[in-house]
Structures are given as structure tokens and as C-alpha cells.
Amino acid sequence: MELTVIGKYGPYGKEKNGCASCYLVKNDEDLLVMDMGSGTLSRLMGFVDIKKVKDIFISHLHYDHTSDLLPFRYLLEDLNHKVNIYTHKEDSAWYGILFNHPNFNIINIDENTEITLGSMTLNFLEMKHTVTDYAVIIKGEKTLCYTGDTLYNDNIPLCFEECSTVLADCSKPEGFKGPHMNINDAKALANKYKKNIIATHLSVDYDPTEALKEQENITVAEEMKTYIL
């Protein structure tokens, strides 16, 4: 199983060459795109033939995880290509604006949903953010969880129990007050579960690499890098 970090910043990209959230998972020949934040579509096109992308998971509907779905619709029209979008049902104007398009096949997910994508199965766990956010648990040759955006919550232990690698929103500095885990959460989880954490969703003005460099089991996500899990 491979994980490529297309974009890792939030709530907006970094000057010149940093993009908001988007990740690409490959297991055998099966692909899953996870979130599609600002600036990520053109990068994604550099990693994969878009005609081979059939499945997209959207963790939650904040703009930094969804905004490139809008230009993506133009590309899908030009390619005459349709994709499945796995996301929770939300009664909001943004949900309608984003997803009401004939080239999107929307499949609503919750904690009871199981999706099979060829060699991968997907399950979902609700997280804790300012809007509804789901983590996805991917089981293929390896096991990977992507948390989307979240504070620590009662489902986080399940992410670690089920998966050998967790791509986690845990890169904010100590004392950060927003709805994300910080580096102290990351250290505590790494020490408790001894699983691999790829820390992502970085702020543009804070790089956690130095603070986490002595910590075992944590890697800070690098954009345009493919991790062999």
C-alpha cells in the first residue's frame, strides 16, 4: 500500500508551493483520493491518470478539504468521466453547491457503512471537529487510517487499534486552541500505541519537525512524497 501526500496544509496553503489537504492511496492497482483542498487538483494530475480515479473520500466539508472539487468538475466534464464521492450527508448550502453535479455519484457514509474498492475495504469513524468529520479506515495490503480534521475523541483509540499507520491531524503547536490535535497529542498517541503516525494538516507558520524529531513512531508529512506503508 502506498500513500502520497499531495497537500498537507490547513486552513490554506503555504506561499509558492504548499497546498491544502489531499492524499492519494494506492493498493494493488486500486486508488482512493482523500480530500481535495485548494491547489491540489493540478498536483494530483501529475501523480495519476485522472481517468483511473474512480473513488474520492471527503472527510468533512471545510473549504481546505473540498475547494478543488469545483474545478475538478470541469475536468470530469472534459474527460466524460464520473467518480464516486464518499462523504456524510450534510444539510448545508455548501453540500449542495459542491456535490450537485452529474459527474459526481454521491455515496453517503456513516459508522455503519462498509465500502469495498477492489483490494481495499473502507470503514468510517466519526471524529470531533467544528463540523461533522469522519475518519476512514482502509484495509488492504496494510492498514491505514486518515482522521480528517479532529480533536482527540473517543474513537481515536480505535483508529490506532485497527491500523498500523495513522495519517493524523496532529501538527499544531503546544497551546493551540483550535479544533485540531497538537504535537503533545501526537507524542502521547505515539507512546501509547507504538504505531506509525504521519502528522499532517500543518499551519503555514509552524513546522513541528524540530519538536517531534526525537519522538519515535512519528513522521511529519512531506508534500509530493510517496510513503510505502
- Give the residue with the Cβ less far from Zn ion, 149 or 223: 149
Least distance to Zn ion from the beta carbon of 65, Å? 6
Please state, in angstroms and rounded to a whole number, the distance separating the CA atoms of residues 213 and 227.
18
Least distance to Zn ion from the beta carbon of 70, Å? 17
Per DSSP bridges, beta strands 226-228 and 196-200 are unpaired
Return the amino acid letter for 215: Q
Least distance to Zn ion from the beta carbon of 60, Å? 6
- Give the residue with the Cβ less far from Zn ion, 74 or 94: 94
51, with CB counted inside 10 A (0-12, 13-18, 19+), is exposed
Return the amino acid letter for 32: L
Least distance to Zn ion from the beta carbon of 150, Å? 9
Q: How far is CA 200 from CA 39, 93, 97, 219, in A?
A: 16, 28, 27, 9
107 alpha-carbon distance from chain centroid: 17
Least distance to Zn ion from the beta carbon of 129, Å? 6
Please state, in angstroms and rounded to a whole number, the distance separating the CA atoms of residues 161 and 154.
12
3 state DSSP class of 131: coil
- Give the residue with the Cβ less far from Zn ion, 68 or 149: 149
- Give the residue with the Cβ less far from Zn ion, 100 or 130: 130
Whether the ω angle into residue 102 lies within 30 degrees of 0, i.e. cis, is no
- Give the residue with the Cβ less far from Zn ion, 195 or 201: 201
- Give the residue with the Cβ less far from Zn ion, 31 or 202: 202
Residues found near Zn ion in the complex (CB under 5 A): 62, 149
Please state, in angstroms and rounded to a whole number, the distance separating the CA atoms of residues 8 and 26.
18
Least distance to Zn ion from the beta carbon of 154, Å? 19
Please state, in angstroms and rounded to a whole number, the distance separating the CA atoms of residues 214 and 227.
20
